[in-house]
Amino acid sequence: MAHSLSFLSALKLASMTVVQTFWIFCENSSLHGLRYIGRSRTLRANVLLRFAWSVIAVVSVGFTLMLANSAWDQFRSNPTLTTIETTSYPVSLIAFPSVTLCNINKIHSMKAEELTIKLVELGIDVNDTTDILYTLPRLNDYQPIEQRLLSLEDLLLSKGYTAERLAFDVAPPCETMIVHCFWLMQPVQCGQMFRRTKIFAGYCCSFNADVFLEPIFSRSANHSVPSESIHVTGIGKGEGLSVMLDVGENYYMASNRFSYGIEVFVHRSFDFPDFSDYTTIVERGKETDVSVLPTIVSASPSLRSVPLAIRGCAFDDEGNRSTSVPYTYSNCMNECEQRYIASVCKCIPLFKQTVELQALLEVSVCGFRDLACLLDLKQRVSFTSEQISEMSNAAFKRTPPINFSAYGVLHVHFRSTNCLKYRREPFVTWQTLVATFGGIFGLCMGGSILSLVELLYHFGITPFMVYNELREKLLKGKAHPSPTITAIAHVPYPGHQPMGYFRRREVVARAINNGDALWGMTKRSNIDTLRWKQHHVDELKIMP
């Protein structure tokens, strides 16, 4: 039973400590309104008034939490803000875009005949060769093929011909597709301006494209990417790229459209093109004009302080893990798609493959046997992805009169001398968020950082002081038992003032009423008199 009483006494002592600490905090806190909840002399008897202030304080705390939660949600849901920095950014400061030309025909009939002759010499039947060539477009749309063609693929592999090599050998060559080229109204050699590239639409010809778009078969070992981009100062026709194209209807063998023509993709030189970059089709006997109006979006360096997962965009040193491919959104989405396909099918699709990424993932290029896996992924998963060498100044021979009706003409140039430039920056920075919280805390409760320090002090240090003092009183009462107390006993305090005794507005009045002009300056007599037992002094109920 003694142990139970000891436990109950300790429990009562702890509860008294909590209550006493709370009253001390209310009476000494700098937060607005809390002192009116305390047990001051003027408000102690007015329970209704103290209850009203308690309700006001609770409402203020709730309002503070509500506003703070709203500010935090706004910070999490709207991490960035995009504004118009200028409406007259000069296009002369913007690099000229890359232009990729892809013939709708994916198999050049003359190239196909040359390849057929080579394969026949290796012992492969003509009909089998024709069947495998017509199956090459399946490497782009992933449609299933006959089982017989899979065995034929193994035979071709034994002869040194992969599906990638076959598609490259029969693709329309740039030399026959691009007839004449003009840069800033000056004729130039097309071979110096265009290079063979491979994008999702097949093997194409690109102007001002980075080397990573080139297939492995045509990539030059000593090729170096220019350090500076191409810029133009004028706008309109003649102030950019102009090319004369031969659609080559007579050589069509496998087309992905119900028409003849050359698809045009305009994109940044370091981007892997996707469907969003499709611009137009150049047809025979027609002149096609492509006017480009760029849009620039710059990011504030302070945006780095916002976590990548929250801001939803990345800087160029935070994106792709393959460092040889420049980071852009298009390249990032393409790499993400290829990584996923490689993890499932253990290969990379032919027309979305980059040599650098393939070497990094250490997988092969997808062949006919991988079409089933690719088709399954295409049906189950939806992917949203969307420098010219120094031109020779050598004399260009004047060409005889040209029959323009036999060709298609393409002009690519800037539309305006100015364009929009946007700036993306943090909508709410951490500094702004802290200031917002501070403003809410100060508006609703009159608090500050020092108020938080007070809170830590009163509920971190004061309870131990109160607990020790009450424990000493309890132990002293047990050592010298007194008659049973049935009412609240006034504790005679020692010569120093008790904790929580000093209140800014009452200490002076207390001293004057008691005849003490200054504490310690006059002789204090009869310390245990009733002046130390006033009702406004904190009272303690000592339990036996």
Q: What's the pLDDT tens digit per position in 35-86? A: 778 766 555 557 788 888 888 888 999 999 999 888 888 777 777 778 888 8
pLDDT for 194 equals 92
**Structural domains of the chain in order of their starting residue, each with its CATH number:** 7-78+436-471 (no CATH), 90-220+228-381+405-425 (2.60.470.10)
pLDDT for 478 equals 61
Are the C-beta atoms of residues 71 and 437 closer than 8 Å to each other?
Answer: yes
Model confidence at 102, pLDDT cuts 50, 70, 90, reads very high
pLDDT for 183 equals 92
Prediction pTM value: 0.63
Q: What is the pLDDT of residues 281-307, one digit of tens each?
A: 999 888 899 999 888 888 888 778 777
| Residue 242 confidence (pLDDT) above 60 | yes
Amino acid, res. 317: D
CA distance to 69, 96, 152, 291, 371, per residue, from 234 (Å): 53, 11, 55, 12, 48
Between residues 40 and 414, the one the model is more confident about: 414
pLDDT for 244 equals 93
Average pLDDT of 351-363? 81
Model confidence at 484, pLDDT cuts 50, 70, 90, reads very low
Lateral strand order in the sheet of 80-90: 80-90, 418-426, 295-299
What is the average pLDDT value for the chain, to the nearest integer? 76
Q: What is the pLDDT of residues 496-510, one digit of tens each?
A: 444 444 555 565 566
| Residue 17 confidence (pLDDT) above 90 | no
* Residue 499 CB coordination number (10 Å): 16
pLDDT for 515 equals 56
Model confidence at 146, pLDDT cuts 50, 70, 90, reads confident
Are the C-beta atoms of residues 503 and 538 closer than 8 Å to each other?
Answer: no
Coil, strand or helix at 24: helix
Residue 339 C-alpha from the chain's centroid: 19
Average pLDDT of 431-437? 84
For the chain, the straight-line distance linking the first and the last C-alpha, in angstroms and rounded, comes to 14
Two tokens at 514?
A: 């008691």
Q: The tokens 């607990």 sit on which residue?
A: 467
Amino acid, res. 89: Y
Q: Which run of H or of E encompasses 100?
A: strand 98-103
Picking from 143, 94, 8, 157, the residue whose alpha carbon sits closest to that of residue 297 is 94
* Residue 126 CB coordination number (10 Å): 11
Q: Which of 96-110, 351-365, 366-380, 416-430 is most confident? A: 96-110
